[in-house]
A and B are shown apart, each in its own frame.
Chain A
Amino acid sequence: MLQNESVSDKKTENSPMPELPQRKPGGLYRNIKMSVKTANILVLILASALLVSIFVLTQNNGFTVSFDTDGGSQVESVKVYYDDTVAEPETPVKEGYIFTGWYLDRAATEEWSFESDTAQNSMTLYAGWQKQE
């Protein structure tokens, strides 16, 4: 696709059936000069790096649940594991507002239940606030 050589000179030759050029060498790899042995070593190194990083990451696991209080008092984030419930954090306070619960979205429409909902991934819970009359 990226070859700049024009094909016009091939067309002007007066052969009845245009000779098909050989398969273009290698596409994206056409400039690679490397022995198969070197490629084997490269594959081995990268493959072991992949396996090692899978093992390391699974040792140091846990999802982070952070709490966004939208201007209220700070709430520390907690670490949970797959399919576990989240421990309910301390209730945040914000001047002039009443705390209504923790929600999955900032608009406070989907409430998070600390009894029944389980963590499937890292996430942020948003504090719901109602203006004090």
Chain B
Amino acid sequence: MSEINVSQKNNLSGRIASFRAMERADKRRTIIDTLFNNAMYIIIFIAIIFITIREPGFLSLNSIVNIISLTAAKLPIALGIGGAIVLTGTDISAGRCVGLTACIAASLLQMANYPNKMFPDLDVMPLWLVLLLVIAVGAAVGFVNGFFVAKFKLHPFIVTLSTQLIVYGMVLLYLMNGTNNGQTLSGLDSSYTDFVRGPLFTIGNVSVPKFVLYAIILTVIMWFIWNKTKFGKNMFAVGSNEEAANVSGVNVFWTIVLVFVLAGIMYGITGFFEGARISSCSSNTGLNYESDAIAACVIGGVSFVGGTGKISGIVIGVLLLQIIFVGLNFLSVDQNMLYIIKGLIILVACAIDMRKYLARK
């Protein structure tokens, strides 16, 4: 961690000066290194220019607000997964976990007089209670993930793959509850949708939804946890070298468990917002959200090498990814086709991440 921090604190002019002083071969290598390490940003830049030329309306206020609110919606889940990636793991149960918590939140907050209500006798529950409940559900899934990873040293891919399936089964079972019979949940109470989707402020005639503010608050909290708490420092220590962390007195077991629990809490909060944001929840809600989040983290420099990553990087990663997706949506590319792009983006981002590691070695 320390040497990385020092090199990042070097200012730009210092870097340029040291670049001028280099030999020709070194200069060439530095340029190639810079180009390759930033290849993802270059690709995204090319794509933005291409999209803007095809559809100049892409840079309108409307779509910029759209990009910002989509970024805010996908940010908490990426902040959660970021911790797991810092530990050289990952979490692929995230999307289904968001789906489960979104369905729970939506079912408890349907309008009192909605005809297809899941629990017809239930009054609309208080928002804070539902929020606490979904956070608890998310944390429970996270605890299971973390426990199996930390205790049995199973790879997080395997553990979270199984919890992903288990949680999906729970979503399907939950949707069969009451009179619902597996149908999509809609008809949400206005207190819920106003709390999440209601306008925070309005620019021009485009309103920014309230969940943008909540995403900013969550980002600040996560920044604090990562950078200013003992737990955050332990997380980076365990991620960069578990043995060393253990020797220097870090409780590795609880650090890993807490990283996953924190991620689970983030999924719960995302699910709560997602339920109101898309306003109709089905078993497909949250499908593949983890792939976006993992891609965003890796683009933003949270490395699978372990022990490196910054909150600001995650924010930038999510933003860049949403710019691409909104842009392709603008060009009328079918949502189904985006999966091909998403898969390739993850591959490219990981290849660049691996290249950075090889070049440093």
Contacts and interface: CB of A to CB of B under 8 A. Distances in A.
B27 interface: no
Contact of A61 (B87, B247, B331): B331
Interface residues of B, number: 65
| Interface secondary structure of B, over-half rule | helix
Interface stretch (B169-177, B262-270, B285-293, B348-356): B348-356
Contacts of B332: 61-63, 80-82
Contacts of A50: 43, 341, 344-345, 348
B35 to A, nearest CB: 9
A71 interface: no
Interface in B32-59: 32, 36, 39-40, 43, 46-47, 50-51, 54-55
A58 B348 contact: no
Nearest to B29: A36
Contacts of A81: 332
| Interface secondary structure of A, over-half rule | loop
Nearest to B57: A83
Interface stretch (B69-77, B180-188, B207-215): B180-188
Contacts, number: 159
Interface in A117-131: 120-122
A39 B354 CA distance: 8
B36 A55 contact: no
B334 A62 contact: yes
Interface in A1-39: 1-5, 7, 10-11, 18, 20-29, 32, 34-36, 39
A118 to B, nearest CB: 12
Contacts of A42: 351, 355
Interface size class of A (residues with CB under 8 A): 35 or more
Contacts of B242: 1, 3, 24
Interface in A31-54: 32, 34-36, 39-40, 42-43, 46-47, 49-51, 53-54
B331 A4 contact: no
B348 A18 contact: no
Interface of B: 32, 36, 39-40, 43, 46-47, 50-51, 54-55, 87-89, 115-116, 149, 153, 155, 183-184, 186-187, 238-244, 246-248, 256, 280, 303-307, 328-337, 340-341, 344-345, 347-348, 351-355, 357-359, 361
28 contacts: A1-B88, A7-B243, A10-B243, A10-B247, A20-B247, A21-B247, A22-B241, A23-B241, A24-B244, A24-B306, A27-B303, A29-B353, A39-B351, A39-B355, A40-B32, A40-B36, A43-B36, A43-B39, A50-B341, A50-B344, A50-B348, A55-B50, A62-B334, A63-B332, A63-B334, A82-B331, A121-B335, A122-B335
